[in-house]
Amino acid sequence: EEPLTAPGLCSYIAASCGGALGRVFLTHPVVPGHRTSNSSHLSVISEGVDESTPSFYAVPSIHPVSLFPEPPRIEHLEPADSQQQPVEWWRAMVRSSRVATGQAMSGNSLTKVPDEAVLGQGSYGLVWRAIDSTTGQLYAVKNITTRKRGAASVATRECDICDAIRLKPHPCIVRLFLVTNFLDAELYVLVQEFCPGGDLKGCIKKARQASAPSYRPPPLAMRWLAQIFLGLEHMHLEMDTLLRDLKPENVVLSASGCAKLTDFGFGRFGVESSGCWSFGMPSGSPGYVSPEVLHRESYDSRADLYSFGVLAWVMLTGGVTIGSEPVPPMGRPRYGGDFQAHFNDYDLLGRCLRNPESYRARRCRSEVQDFVARLTCRRPLDRMRHEDIRKHPFWSTARDDFQAVQLPANRPPEVERWIREVQNP
């Protein structure tokens, strides 16, 4: 099966417009008669931080490229190793396949991703590092196989959310470029912004290891929390969209150290939901999903803000002290799909806040305790909204944290303004 492409200037128009208008410019590039599906959608994942990296926020250097590159063509992308070089054996294999079949790109070839290019693997597929053979631009490519039950729905939802984000971009949400659906391989391929700084989970884990048995948050923790909130606020208030799966793994760091939201497979258009489960299960991750979502009650943007409160607690305390992973307190399922085991996760977190020593947690500052507690109440009506979060003393008491950090010169203007307000109340 052959992906649709758009020749010349049409490629930019198709990538910029999306939807029905964008698809007008798509054509079959090589072999007529092959059925394909392609949309101009967009999304991003990141490369894990090298274990030898001494800093929590240092990232490897990357090839100098333009700030806003032209959308790539799928046939120009090749797997790249950790040195950002094309994997030669894969390149030779694809060239041989193209000569034999006459096709510019086969979906099956993209299912054979070299181990040296793989960045991570999830429930529905994997993410790999790619380089554009014509420009040297690096991308992260997300493979979503539709053979697995429910994967097609997740892929479609992510594409739709990504299209909306492209129309209303934000510096604290990943840049998104292209999606191709290879019917021959039952594979969606999402071409995404490459964020070489890793994800927050990796940064928190490094901080735990570096300061054990105590815990010292990463130096940029407060700034990252500010950026996460700004990205969420944009999705809620400007896009009328829910993320519904906020956790450290779904926040990645750009080359400049900016925290960006990613992974929109559980996203939802409209910030008010009746509570029905979109995918036959709660939208979110254990420990981070709000109680009203678990109970199939109606919910709104405060479900995302609940997850933000949990993430803030894990970031600033390192999570529960048992085990090596930075995770929040959570119930133990008795079997697969035992969602009721998490009904009282909010209460476990409350106990960790009030009496951390008795619940294998670390004590936090009173401002942090109040901030997290007011975001993770059982009743959504009791939680803070966006304006309440902005005004909370949690940010003003973090003034020294902001001043101690050397911020990158190209930080987003929204973050610049907010930090200025925090430092000069």
Q: Percent helix, strand and coil across the chain, each rounded to 5? A: 40, 15, 45
**Within its chain, how far is the Cα of 387 from the centroid?**
24
Q: What span, in angstroms and rounded, lies between the C-alpha atoms of 375 and 385?
A: 9
Instruction: Respond yes or no: is residue 245 known to be catalytic.
Output: yes
Question: C-alpha angle with apex 27: 23 to 28, nearest 5 degrees?
Answer: 135
Q: Tell me if 142 is assigned to a ligand binding site.
A: yes
DSSP 374: T
User: What b/e sequence results for 368-389 when a residue is b if at least 16 CB atoms lie within 10 Å of its CB, and e otherwise?
Assistant: bbebbbbbbbeebeebbeeeeb
Q: What span, in angstroms and rounded, lies between the C-alpha atoms of 308 and 384?
A: 11
Q: Tell which residue, 3, 8, 41, has the closest CA to residue 22.
A: 41
DSSP 312: H
CA 57 to each of CA 50, 77, 231, 248, 413: distance values in angstroms, whole numbers, following the listed order: 11, 28, 19, 14, 20
Q: Tell which residue, 216, 40, 213, 189, has the closest CA to residue 105.
A: 189
Residue tagged 């380089």 (tokens): 131
180 phi and psi angles, rounded to 5 deg: -125, 135
325 phi and psi angles, rounded to 5 deg: -90, 140
- Is the distance from CB of 349 to CB of 313 less than 8 angstroms? yes
- Write the single-letter amino acid at 320: V
**Within its chain, how far is the Cα of 248 from the centroid?**
9
Residue tagged 């991308």 (tokens): 139
User: What b/e sequence results for 283-310 when a residue is b if at least 16 CB atoms lie within 10 Å of its CB, and e otherwise?
Assistant: bbbbbbbbbbbbeeeebbbbbbbbbbbb
Catalytic residue among 132, 160, 199, 245: 245
DSSP states along 256-286: T--EEE---TT-EESS-B-S--TTSS-SS-T
Question: Residues annotated as binding site for ATP?
Answer: 142
Q: Extract the annotated binding site.
A: 142
List active site positions.
245
